Chains A and B, each alone.
Chain A
Amino acid sequence: MKVDMVMPQMGESIVEGTIVKWLKHKGDAVEKEEIILEISTDKVDSEIPSPASGILDEILAEEGETVQVGGVIARIESNKKPGKAAKTEEPQPRQKEEEYEQVSAEEDRGKVFLSPVVKKIARENDISLNEVKTINGSGAHGRITKSDILEYISSKGKEKPSGQTEKAASTFAEQTEIKTESVTVIPMDHVRKRIAEHMVMSKKTAPHVTTVAEADLTKIVTYREKAKKSFEEQHGVKLTFTSFFVQAIASALKQFPLLNSSVDGDRILQKKDIHIGIAVGLEDKLIVPVIRHADDLSLIGIAKALADLTLRTRDKKLNPEDVQGGTFSLTNIGTYGNLFGTPIINQPQVGILGTGAIKERPVVVDGMIAIRNMIYLSLTYDHRIIDGLYAGRFMQTMVKLLQEFSSS
């Protein structure tokens, strides 16, 4: 076995040494610790002992040569049996990296976090944070980085000449000349601005299509008339029609999960949880509190959750998490007797169901005209990922669930 003899380090700052004299020659026998050469460094001159017993097999640096510390200057053929060679295993990939890969496969976690500089750039460019969240992120877990938002702004800038009206709507630029005698100027408050921005952003983000269906709610109306009094006594909350709609939506979404998704660039993020947002209109604003895991709740559970959210919405006691994380929305268009409407999608969701007023109408049942409690349902969906056929089937499932309601 050959043992390398290296230029030793003769002091902390010394980087090289010069061979002064070899005291042994090639082929000579040497003992371990026997002095075999002299070297000179910047700091000291020194005699250097052999690192092993054996034969001086090779001299790689001649007298007068300068060698870096650690450089091989000679090899000694050791007469000892080869010892255990240190096993050098391939370094294992770091655990950390593996975890990182796993995590990055998870869906849109990074979207939740916007870095300070991204928020700053958004604010300076009049881009709402909701709009920022529609940008395709290139950072870890899909995080939107500074360069992502800058790229987004510059590509938006290029579109501007053809989209002047959009700009005016989203930035609320005030006209300079307003005749105050004929116009009352009402500055938008913070909430109104956010609502306006969100509406514009949603329309710009998703191609909206609305499908309308008609459902016979006679069974539900009859059941509710019969049960509402005892229900309120027993559970302490009112049994509203909204509870029935939420229950039907949760059930239908299980069969049509694509409507319970969001779009992230060229990926569809299909949500496993069903959280249904309920649009509650107040005097001056619109709030959409969320019933979480609606598919896990009974009709009673839904009614209780609704009562709680409605009360806290009116009392302004909602927590931030009460209005976050919705995966599908429900809005009541029929409050003042209106038949149906075409709601705007609550981003980043892809579907919203509007319910019209329940009205008694003459309809043909089994070849005879009958008076039934009828309702129009309108579904607005994101046509990027939802096709008409899929939306149509969802609606017919909704109709069936509502018409064939049974209290058991």
Chain B
Amino acid sequence: MATSTYLEAINQALFEEMERDESVFLLGEDIGIYGGAFKVTKGLYKAFGGDRVIDTPISESAIIGSAIGAAITGLRPVAEMQFADFITVGFNQLVANAATLYYRHNIPVPMVVRAPSGGGIRGGPFHSRNPEAWFFHQPGLKIVAPATARDAKGLLKSSIRDNNPVIYFEHKYLYRRVKEELPKEEIVVPLGKANISREGDDVTVITYGAMVFECLDAAKKLFEEHDISAQVIDLRTLQPLDMELILQSVQKTSRVVIVHEASLSGGIGAEIAARISEKAFEYLDAPVKRIASLDTPTPFSPILENEFMPNAEKIYNAILEIMKF
């Protein structure tokens, strides 16, 4: 067992999959010789050469379009967006082409788009966003958002092996903050399965990405100070959602708080809340509460950014409010 950061776990997954399967290759801006803006692809150019670790022009549309083309001819491309914020430049390629090719022509598109996302890093409005909800609305795409190093590795490997286009949101804030001991044995985490990060009976807290840790901090404090036992669910995969686990938990606790870092309105939390009210209305003892970033661009100012984002304290207060209902 060796300690790996979240970032190193992604690097390991890429390395192992490229070694395992020759059809896997990478493309993106500065991912080759430079090793990527965040050094996620460090060492891969040296190991696999310029044919399989391809530096591209600064054009997300070209990167995604090339990946689609490669995927439909039988390769398994992993495209890197330098920042998830810029994925919008290739939006049409993803939602109109990648997401619908199998439906239209029975042609699988086994590609992964790696999208470094998330705030709390003083990145301002162009380097901090969490754009998963746009893709959540488009049938035909799978969406993954790991929180731990183990899941970062295991989910990326599953994403690469999946025959559908997968958008893999890796959280920049977690890159070097999350460190875990990973086993030597291969880790493969199935898509579509959420994980219970903390067991509890009183309230269900549904979250993903960097907010998992804020929720765990809040849950710990609530247990110590108020004897409230919160069950924290880390979704891990956002599309498809693991509704089975969510509904099981809601039936047990009857109270739900949904937390995500993406802005509130039209977020994935809204869809989860709607499904809970449709499928588990009779189990609810309180309104479903959502905690998310404000409906504004991400502020430049660190003070404002702290105010803008959810954190353990805000989650703690929201859970208390729901418990008092």
Instruction: Determine whether B67 belongs to the interface, using a CB cutoff of 8 Å to chain A.
Output: no
A31 to B: closest C-beta gap in Å: 26
Neighbouring B residues of A109 by C-beta, 8 Å: none
The answer to whether B39 touches A145, judged by C-beta atoms less than 8 angstroms apart, is: no
Instruction: Determine whether A116 belongs to the interface, using a CB cutoff of 8 Å to chain B.
Output: yes
Q: Which single member of A12, A16, A117, A139 contacts B284 (CB below 8 Å)?
A: A117
Instruction: Determine whether B290 belongs to the interface, using a CB cutoff of 8 Å to chain A.
Output: no
State in angstroms the CA–CA spacing of A325 and B215 once bound together: 43
Considering only residues 9-28 of chain A, those with a C-beta below 8 Å from chain B are 9, 11-16
The answer to whether B38 touches A13, judged by C-beta atoms less than 8 angstroms apart, is: yes
Q: Which single member of A13, A139, A145 contacts B176 (CB below 8 Å)?
A: A13
Given A13-B175, A14-B176, A15-B176: A120 touches B121 (CB 8 Å cut-off) = no
1/0 per residue, CB under 8 A from A, across B173-193: the answer is 101110000000000000000
Instruction: Determine whether B152 belongs to the interface, using a CB cutoff of 8 Å to chain A.
Output: no
The answer to whether B254 touches A146, judged by C-beta atoms less than 8 angstroms apart, is: yes
The answer to whether A13 touches B324, judged by C-beta atoms less than 8 angstroms apart, is: no
The answer to whether A13 touches B173, judged by C-beta atoms less than 8 angstroms apart, is: yes
B291 to A: closest C-beta gap in Å: 15
Instruction: Determine whether B278 belongs to the interface, using a CB cutoff of 8 Å to chain A.
Output: no
A315 to B: closest C-beta gap in Å: 35
The answer to whether B282 touches A116, judged by C-beta atoms less than 8 angstroms apart, is: yes
Instruction: Determine whether A43 belongs to the interface, using a CB cutoff of 8 Å to chain B.
Output: yes
The answer to whether B324 touches A139, judged by C-beta atoms less than 8 angstroms apart, is: yes
Given A139-B324, A146-B254: A116 touches B176 (CB 8 Å cut-off) = no
Given A14-B176, A140-B324: A115 touches B286 (CB 8 Å cut-off) = yes
Q: How large is the interface on A (under 10, 10 to 19, 20 to 34, 35 or more residues)?
A: 20 to 34
The answer to whether A116 touches B281, judged by C-beta atoms less than 8 angstroms apart, is: yes
B254 to A: closest C-beta gap in Å: 5
State in angstroms the CA–CA spacing of A117 and B256 once bound together: 13
Q: Which single member of B7, B173, B176, B282 contacts A120 (CB below 8 Å)?
A: B282
Considering only residues 84-122 of chain A, those with a C-beta below 8 Å from chain B are 115-120
Considering only residues 123-139 of chain A, those with a C-beta below 8 Å from chain B are 139
Instruction: Determine whether A372 belongs to the interface, using a CB cutoff of 8 Å to chain B.
Output: no
Neighbouring A residues of B260 by C-beta, 8 Å: none
The answer to whether A13 touches B284, judged by C-beta atoms less than 8 angstroms apart, is: no
Interface size on B, residues (CB 8 A): 22
Name the residue of chain B whose CB is nearest to the CB of A110.
Answer: B325
Chain B binding surface SS class:
loop
State in angstroms the CA–CA spacing of A115 and B122 once bound together: 42
Instruction: Determine whether A275 belongs to the interface, using a CB cutoff of 8 Å to chain B.
Output: no
Name the residue of chain A whose CB is nearest to the CB of B40.
Answer: A13
Instruction: Determine whether A208 belongs to the interface, using a CB cutoff of 8 Å to chain B.
Output: no
State in angstroms the CA–CA spacing of A14 and B37 once bound together: 11
Chain A binding surface SS class:
loop
Neighbouring B residues of A198 by C-beta, 8 Å: none
Neighbouring A residues of B121 by C-beta, 8 Å: 9, 12-13
Given A12-B123, A12-B172, A13-B121: A146 touches B285 (CB 8 Å cut-off) = yes
State in angstroms the CA–CA spacing of A119 and B122 once bound together: 48
Instruction: Determine whether A292 belongs to the interface, using a CB cutoff of 8 Å to chain B.
Output: no
Instruction: Determine whether B316 belongs to the interface, using a CB cutoff of 8 Å to chain A.
Output: no
Instruction: Determine whether B283 belongs to the interface, using a CB cutoff of 8 Å to chain A.
Output: yes
1/0 per residue, CB under 8 A from B, across A245-267: the answer is 00000000000000000000000
B212 to A: closest C-beta gap in Å: 18
The answer to whether B122 touches A9, judged by C-beta atoms less than 8 angstroms apart, is: yes
State in angstroms the CA–CA spacing of A13 and B37 once bound together: 10
Instruction: Determine whether B127 belongs to the interface, using a CB cutoff of 8 Å to chain A.
Output: yes
The answer to whether B122 touches A12, judged by C-beta atoms less than 8 angstroms apart, is: yes
Name the residue of chain A whose CB is nearest to the CB of B284.
Answer: A116
Given A13-B38, A139-B325: A115 touches B176 (CB 8 Å cut-off) = no
The answer to whether A42 touches B324, judged by C-beta atoms less than 8 angstroms apart, is: no
Neighbouring A residues of B38 by C-beta, 8 Å: 11-13, 43
1/0 per residue, CB under 8 A from A, across B119-147: the answer is 00111000100000000000000000000
The answer to whether B7 touches A13, judged by C-beta atoms less than 8 angstroms apart, is: yes
The answer to whether A145 touches B285, judged by C-beta atoms less than 8 angstroms apart, is: yes
Name the residue of chain A whose CB is nearest to the CB of B324.
Answer: A140
A116 to B: closest C-beta gap in Å: 5
Neighbouring A residues of B123 by C-beta, 8 Å: 12
The answer to whether B325 touches A116, judged by C-beta atoms less than 8 angstroms apart, is: no
A139 to B: closest C-beta gap in Å: 6
Given A13-B7, A43-B39, A140-B324: A118 touches B176 (CB 8 Å cut-off) = no
A contact residues vs B (CB 8 Å cutoff): 9, 11-16, 42-43, 115-120, 139-140, 143, 145-146
Show 19 A/B contacts (Cβ-Cβ < 8 Å), sorted by A.
A9-B121, A12-B38, A12-B123, A12-B127, A13-B116, A13-B175, A16-B176, A42-B39, A43-B39, A115-B286, A116-B281, A116-B283, A116-B284, A117-B283, A118-B285, A120-B283, A139-B324, A139-B325, A140-B325
B contact residues vs A (CB 8 Å cutoff): 7, 38-39, 116, 121-123, 127, 172-173, 175-177, 254, 281-286, 324-325
Q: Beyond the given A12-B127, A139-B324, could you list 7 further A-B residue pairs with CB under 8 A, ordered by the A residue number?
A: A13-B173, A13-B176, A42-B176, A116-B282, A139-B325, A146-B254, A146-B285
